[in-house]
């Protein structure tokens, strides 16, 4: 492939936002400066492809027991067109049989080296039914020895595996086994105390799932999981849509922790015009930027990562921080910061071009352009870029 030199936009390399810089791409990788065909961009920002560690579906389909490797590839392609060039397809609480089928589909997707497939995120079923959210309480259960063995085997065969669990439904010993096998253990859908959360973190948990949502809150005498997430050395996903977490709470969390990253928590509606879709036999309604069960319970989010970054900017977040929350920080959470989330020599040339109005002007995977953007983002960021 002919080397290309991208110029005309500020370049965010995963840490720094550099004006007047250019970026050289050859054979799908970022390289040191040298000759090449010039690609002139019309201003804006060239950044690493966004990484989304919580994606429940796309294109009218959910990640569920019917998933195949082909379906996972289609979801990856849809989300790449929305700016997330790497995703963790996420299975919410389901049966053991459905979980096993999704794991096998993920293993096959990994074997095929499916573009954009980073691994799997299993959100449940080992949760606390008191904090079930949109999960089916009939399917929530404690982790058994057979469950642990299944997860350990999956971790050995997937590119990455994240598991959301509640300390109440597991033991510190199980968390330690998972962590020792390379699983990213994330705490979520839990009513645990601060002490229980701290014990789970000491055992090996390194992340918190959708901060503030479906978890014990920060109180003056009992800090809960929120308190642990904001004070312990763990990463935390944030649904920055202004709905799941208020703007004020986002600002407080941002001031307290430098380990937050954004997630879309996208559902089947992503990349489609669907106004409703099924989830475990229940209707999910899409109205006014929200996804809810018929009783009004939030059920995932109607959000893309470029939109999340746009919202953070409007809340006063510096560009470098907002962009890192969609790139280098999730890469670090996965332990894959030497491969993903940066535009540095030797790294994969997954990139997004953001216009100054927040529009998604281009997406590349391994240096190859994705020509058809399915839902361009149009958020008003005029004047916010400095």
Active site residues: 265
Tokens 């010993």 belong to 173
| DSSP-derived 3-state class of residue 54 | strand
Taking the C-alpha atoms of residue 159 and residue 139, their distance in angstroms, rounded to an integer, is: 27
| DSSP-derived 3-state class of residue 372 | coil
Instruction: Report yes or no: 47 and 12 within 8 Å, Cβ to Cβ.
Output: yes
Backbone phi, then psi, for 217, in 5-degree steps? Answer: -90, 170
Beta-sheet pairing, 57-58 with 368-369: unpaired
* Number of Cα atoms under 13 Å in the Cβ half of residue 134: 26
Instruction: Report yes or no: 308 and 163 within 8 Å, Cβ to Cβ.
Output: no
Within 10 A of 223 (CB to CB), how many other CB atoms are there? 20
Bridge partners, 186 (sequence order) = 164, 207
Taking the C-alpha atoms of residue 44 and residue 9, their distance in angstroms, rounded to an integer, is: 5
Taking the C-alpha atoms of residue 316 and residue 320, their distance in angstroms, rounded to an integer, is: 12
Taking the C-alpha atoms of residue 159 and residue 260, their distance in angstroms, rounded to an integer, is: 22
Taking the C-alpha atoms of residue 144 and residue 151, their distance in angstroms, rounded to an integer, is: 11
């Amino acid at each position: 492939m002919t080397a290309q030199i991208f110029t005309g936009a500020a370049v965010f390399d995963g840490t720094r936002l550099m004006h007047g810089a250019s970026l050289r791409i050859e054979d799908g990788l970022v390289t040191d400066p040298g000759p090449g065909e010039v690609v002139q961009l019309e201003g804006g920002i060239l950044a690493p492809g966004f990484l989304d560690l919580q994606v429940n579906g796309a294109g009218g389909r959910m990640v569920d027991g019917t998933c195949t490797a082909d379906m996972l590839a289609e979801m990856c392609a849809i989300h790449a067109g929305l700016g997330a060039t790497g995703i963790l397809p996420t299975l919410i609480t389901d049966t053991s049989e459905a979980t096993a089928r999704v794991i096998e589909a993920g293993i096959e997707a990994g074997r095929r080296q499916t573009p954009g497939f980073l691994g799997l995120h299993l959100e449940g079923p080992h949760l606390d039914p008191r904090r079930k959210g949109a999960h089916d309480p009939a399917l929530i259960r404690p982790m058994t020895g057979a469950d642990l063995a299944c997860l350990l085997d999956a971790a050995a065969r997937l590119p990455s595996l994240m598991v959301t669990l509640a300390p109440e439904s597991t033991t510190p010993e199980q968390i330690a086994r998972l962590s020792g096998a390379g699983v990213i253990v994330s705490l979520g859908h839990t009513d645990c105390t601060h002490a229980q959360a701290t014990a789970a973190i000491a055992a090996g948990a390194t992340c918190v799932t959708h901060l503030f949502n479906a978890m014990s809150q920060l109180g003056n005498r009992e800090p809960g999981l929120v308190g642990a997430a904001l004070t312990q050395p763990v990463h935390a996903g944030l649904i920055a849509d202004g709905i799941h977490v208020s703007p004020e709470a986002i600002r407080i969390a941002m001031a307290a922790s430098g380990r937050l990253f954004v997630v879309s928590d996208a559902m089947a509606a992503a990349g489609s015009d669907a106004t409703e879709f099924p989830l475990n036999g229940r209707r999910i309604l899409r109205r006014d930027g929200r996804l809810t069960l018929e009783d009004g319970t939030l059920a995932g989010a109607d959000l893309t990562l470029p939109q999340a970054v746009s919202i953070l900017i409007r809340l006063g977040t510096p560009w470098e921080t907002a962009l890192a929350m969609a790139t280098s920080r999730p890469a670090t959470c996965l332990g894959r910061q030497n491969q993903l989330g940066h535009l540095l020599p030797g790294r994969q040339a997954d990139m997004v071009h953001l216009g100054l109005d927040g529009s998604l002007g281009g997406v590349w995977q391994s240096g190859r352009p994705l020509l058809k953007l399915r839902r361009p983002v149009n958020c008003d960021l005029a004047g916010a870029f400095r």
